[in-house]
Structure 1
Amino acid sequence: MKTTATAKQDMQGDVATGRDTRTAVLDRSIRTNVPLRKTFVQANRGSVSRHGPLKDFVTGRDLRGLRAYLIIVAACSNGDNGWSTTHDSAVWSRLMDIHETAVSQSARTGAWRALRRLEERNLIECSRSGTKITVTLLREDGTGKPYDRPVGDREENRFLQIPNTFWAQGRDEKLSLPGLALFLVVAREKHWVALPAERAPEWYGWSPDTHERGLKQLVDLGFVLKRAIKKKAPFAPLGYTIAHEYRRALITMPRKSKPKKKSAPPTTA
């Protein structure tokens, strides 16, 4: 017969973690990658400001809110339920890892408050009935417009993709707020790109120091690659300067969708 201590350990091992819950959400969406409009990161050229809604998460030091928003996009953007998803508030708290630092009722309350903050940013709508909370996506640009799936036909509909493995393998859990923000910045680009820190306040709305810390963490973790480029500079002492460019590493690149299995043709008598 098992001892009480061993039985208690077995019981604890059967409890779903935050990562388990996020992975289940992704499995249910039946997709390999999650699309996110690029305007969430940075407004299109010609806009009064180039800052996207991402800026407010960074300057507000809201890592939990940013992680919550990204998994909500993953949960709702497949369109199976009108861009909405409904879960018990305890499940929402586990999706956001709030349950790790709060007891049951406090975790439920924390989840509702986190979702309401996203609603105040015009990124989602949320409602609750009893312990159930329904979340509906709005446009990623923070305008409050209804959501539709980005298809890349116009500049406002261009999108980046986050592979499901980003959550399923716990890469999101390793990133600080600057790291996660800069991951989205790099993911916004398809090829090698220069991301000078001195342009960060103008382009994204955060400090050069935040920008550099985010890039450094991504490179140190192997999520992003970095290369040096020599540029001709007639007035530089050596006649050239060194700049750096970045792109996603293979482990954080979008995955190819698995081909759907063809059904066998009907047999004839």
Structure 2
Amino acid sequence: MKTSKKPVALRQKPEATGLDARARLLDRNKRPIVPLRHAFVQRPQGHSPRHGPLKTFVRNGDLRGLRAYLTIVGASGGTRDGAWTTQLDSLVWARLFDAEATATQLAARTAAWRTLDRLEQRGLITKNRTERGARRIEVTLLREDASGEPYTRPDGQDESDRFLRIPTAFWKNDLDAKITLPGLAMLLVVAKEKPWSAYPPDRMEEWYGWSADTTQRGLKALLDHDLVERRETYTPAPLSPTGSTLMYQYRLVKWMRPPAGSRPEGNTK
């Protein structure tokens, strides 16, 4: 007598994405916001030039590097032996940087290492393999001003320690993967400055280190993604035909403006 075999359901192997990895890291640290010192965007008054390390990413067209750096800042939620360190397999780093999606594993691992290498050369992190030939990479944050000094949790007590806040929902909504480099740079600028600030195109090179065109494209990207609000304002111009000049002021939308009391710290590892 023939017996029929019960069909076995085939289970598809799940594929982890960069979005999945970034969300898991942020959840692990249990933090509602990610702090970033103002000095990364613009150095405190009295410095010349005022440009912060952000300028290098914009000038070099390094969107992957900037996204990677912000991800590392978000991932580093606690201390290990007095340093802010995250240790992951190189393929996980590649996934976090979206380098795994369109490359072989070997190429993705190489892309992750090269991305981290650029950040190290810019004085923002240090990196090490956990042991010779190992695939796990240990990344330690340095101070955001690229001074090479050890990273400490910002507390905002003086001008050099002031920080902007990025809500973790920015990553969880995958906006970091959708926005352009000019948009991401201007997002950090708007987050740093007071609400309803203006960004005169002819001053942006002096203040932040990039062109008027980059500024305009960045602000447009923020408007397109509903990340900022814009309002009109007028300045007196007695010698112009209209007697005034129209300017636009910007601020982050409400959900992108965490309360001033939001705690920057995360879990202690």
Q: TM-score, normalised by structure 1?
A: 0.90
Question: 2:234 aligned with 1:230, yes or no?
Answer: yes
- Which amino acid is the alignment partner of residue 236 of structure 1? S
* 1:263 aligned residue: none
Deviation at 1:20, TM superposition (A): 0.5
User: Structure 1: how far apart are the matches of 2:102 and 2:53?
Assistant: 27
- Which amino acid is the alignment partner of residue 44 of structure 2? N
Q: How does 1:71-220 map to 2 (within 5 A)?
A: 71-79=71-79, 82-128=83-129, 129=131, 130-220=134-224
Distance 1:2 1:237, change over 3 A: farther
Question: 2:35 aligned with 1:35, yes or no?
Answer: yes
* 1:24 aligned residue: 24
Q: How many residues are treated as equivalent by the alignment?
A: 252
- Does the aligned pair in 1 maintain the 2:231–2:250 contact within 8 Å? yes
Deviation at 1:71, TM superposition (A): 0.6
- Does the aligned pair in 2 maintain the 1:77–1:137 contact within 8 Å? no
Over residues 131-152 of structure 1, what are the superposed CA-to-partner deviations in whole Å (9 max), with x where a residue is unaligned? Answer: 1000000010011111111100
Q: Secondary structure at the match of 2:111?
A: helix
Distance 1:223 1:2, change over 3 A: farther
- Which amino acid is the alignment partner of residue 57 of structure 2? F
Deviation at 1:232, TM superposition (A): 2.0
Q: Secondary structure at the match of 2:230?
A: strand
User: Structure 1: how far apart are the matches of 2:19 and 2:157?
Assistant: 34
The structure with the largest helix share of the pair is: 1
Unaligned runs of 5+ in 1: 259-269
Deviation at 1:198, TM superposition (A): 1.2
Deviation at 1:42, TM superposition (A): 0.6
- Which amino acid is the alignment partner of residue 87 of structure 1? L
User: Structure 2: how far apart are the matches of 1:2 and 1:218?
Assistant: 50
User: Structure 1: how far apart are the matches of 2:88 and 2:77?
Assistant: 15
Deviation at 1:250, TM superposition (A): 1.7
Deviation at 1:80, TM superposition (A): 5.8
- Which amino acid is the alignment partner of residue 34 of structure 1? V
Over residues 178-198 of structure 1, what are the superposed CA-to-partner deviations in whole Å (9 max), with x where a residue is unaligned? Answer: 000000000102311011111
User: Structure 2: how far apart are the matches of 1:257 and 1:2?
Assistant: 51
Larger relative CO (CA 8 A, sep 6+): 1 or 2? Answer: 2
User: Structure 1: how far apart are the matches of 2:252 and 2:80?
Assistant: 30
User: Structure 2: how far apart are the matches of 1:205 and 1:230?
Assistant: 26
Q: Secondary structure at the match of 1:98?
A: coil
- Does the aligned pair in 2 maintain the 1:193–1:247 contact within 8 Å? yes
Deviation at 1:200, TM superposition (A): 1.1
Q: TM-score, normalised by structure 2?
A: 0.90
Distance 1:41 1:210, change over 3 A: same
- When the two chains are superposed, the root-mean-square deviation of aligned CA atoms in Å is 1.6
Q: Report percent identity of matched pairs.
A: 50
* 1:267 aligned residue: none
Over residues 50-84 of structure 1, what are the superposed CA-to-partner deviations in whole Å (9 max), with x where a residue is unaligned? Answer: 11000000000000000000010011143366300
Question: 2:53 aligned with 1:53, yes or no?
Answer: yes
User: Structure 2: how far apart are the matches of 1:219 and 1:191?
Assistant: 15
- Which amino acid is the alignment partner of residue 91 of structure 1? V
- Does the aligned pair in 2 maintain the 1:77–1:149 contact within 8 Å? no
Over residues 146-176 of structure 1, what are the superposed CA-to-partner deviations in whole Å (9 max), with x where a residue is unaligned? Answer: 1111100110000000000000111111111
Q: Secondary structure at the match of 2:100?
A: helix
User: Structure 2: how far apart are the matches of 1:159 and 1:257?
Assistant: 12
